[in-house]
Structure 1
């Protein structure tokens, strides 16, 4: 029988997530925390979530496992498709002289979003060089992303022409799955990055995608994260957030051009 997650134990995990990743777990997330960590309690034959919390305080590897489990979010190919239409028809044509075009996908999860960006740009730019940095705080999802191997049903949102061109259908032992083709995989580099900590030397970018991550941040954390990223966005560059998010009250350095799409003015 799975132990009950007490309010005190939930507060301990919530504080840990805020300290490590800037994620604000509200009371509504209590069942999620309980459900996602239950298997780890069983794995270690622990009687309470408090005992598991003591374990992750002492074991760095298990702490990373808990972080991975609690930060994995829903994602899929061509999510919020209007962003990719704008990328293909407005951003890419305007940046054809920029080589290499550099994109940062700051919450890449299991890879669907950066591979979607790569397919979109490959179609729009042809042989023009572009590079995509895809980052996430979870090492577990990055491993999945690097494999670029997905269940066949996940291809349903990929336009048929792109699916035929950039996806390889599995046969034999891989039947029922597909892999992103090598020319697209080679455009994407994955790296573990905590957006709530000082950033490594990443260089500058023409486009930054930061979608479906700020919904978990407090307003102050949003301000800090965006302030950390904006110096890396070149003047004339674009900043994408999800339709469920807003930069109202977060920054005045970006100009809204479309819902959830912002432009960094030329200096």
Structure 2
């Protein structure tokens, strides 16, 4: 599709319109520093739709009947970089501190709460299968973006995305693409069948979810302001089993937040029994 007349500059007033909309819809805090990103990602879409301005696009996605395009805009703005086995110390912790002492008869249920295109969920699945084998374990992956969830469900990635997967796991759990899929790999069906992906808004979670033994809420709360962070973490903790673990990103912290969790090590928390 030819992109025509795509606006490139976003005014301060237009930025405020999108800040308010995304905050209201998904709790996302868009700082002034995100102005160029919003202009680039939404500007191209505005050109594709042959609209005249950012303000006109805002009218479209905030209108009744604009739900599908609003979801498209959310997908554009919230898609963030992820990769397999990101923050390896967390995987070491799961193996050594959780799974090593996990009772054989107990199921182990994990929630990848901001799963993006699935790399985190599949990384955990490789570890769980390696340690627990065919025992009772499952993973639930959620994200606000339908577009990345579609990629996650497929489990098909460029070979370059697999560079941080341990070589043994790459051999055991990933199938090298042939023909039209050359240069890509597919996560094995055995792992894909253990994972369910679904769209969820972390600021408005359903009452019935889980409960989970481990929740990965990594590298997402940095996109919320403090009141929204507290709301999201408390929403998530409600779906964590007593004694269950919550991980946030290594650059994130829950320090000073009124949440019912105990700090185990930096970025790892536990819900009291």
TM-score range, shorter chain: over 0.9
Match of 2:150 among 127, 133, 143: 143
Matched residue, 1:19? 24
- State which of 253, 259, 267 in structure 1 corresponds to 2:266: 259
1:111-146 Cα deviation digits (max 9, x unpaired) = 000111111111111121101110011111100100
In structure 1, what is the Cα distance between the partners aligned to 2:129 and 2:226?
36
Residue number in structure 2 paired with 1:160: 167
| 2: CA distance, partners of 1:228 / 1:66 | 25
Q: Contact 1:96 / 1:125 at 8 angstroms: preserved in 2? A: no
TM-score by length of 2: 0.94
Q: How many residues align?
A: 266
5 Å matches for 1:78-89? 78-89=85-96
Structure 1 unaligned runs (5+)?
none
Give the Cα–Cα distance (whole angstroms) in 1 for the partners of residues 62 and 54 of structure 2.
12
Match of 1:220 in 2: 227
Matches within 5 A, 1:110-129: 110-129=117-136
Q: CA offset at residue 189 of structure 1?
A: 0.3
Q: CA deviation at 1:94?
A: 2.3
8 Å CA contact retained: 1:226, 1:250: no
The superposition leaves residues 123-171 of structure 1 with CA deviations (integer Å, 9 ceiling, x where unpaired) of 1111211011100111111001001110100000000000000001001
Residue 10 of structure 1 corresponds to which residue in structure 2? 15
Q: Once the 2 structures are TM-superposed, how far is the Cα of residue 202 of structure 1 from its aligned partner?
A: 1.1
Offset at 1:84? 0.5
After TM superposition, give the deviation of residue 222 of structure 1 in Å: 1.0
Question: Is the CA contact 2:6–2:48 (under 8 Å) kept in the aligned structure 1?
Answer: no
Distance 1:17 1:97 in 2: 44
The secondary structure found in structure 1 opposite 2:238 is helix
Aligned partner (choices 56, 72, 91) of residue 65 of structure 1: 72
Secondary structure in structure 2 of the residue aligned to 1:150:
strand
Matched, 1:33 2:43: no
- For the aligned residues, what is the CA RMSD? 1.2
Cα distance, 1:242 vs structure 2: 0.3
Q: Partner of 1:157: helix, strand, or coil?
A: coil
Q: What is the alpha-carbon distance in structure 1 between the residues aligned to residue 105 and residue 112 of structure 2?
A: 18
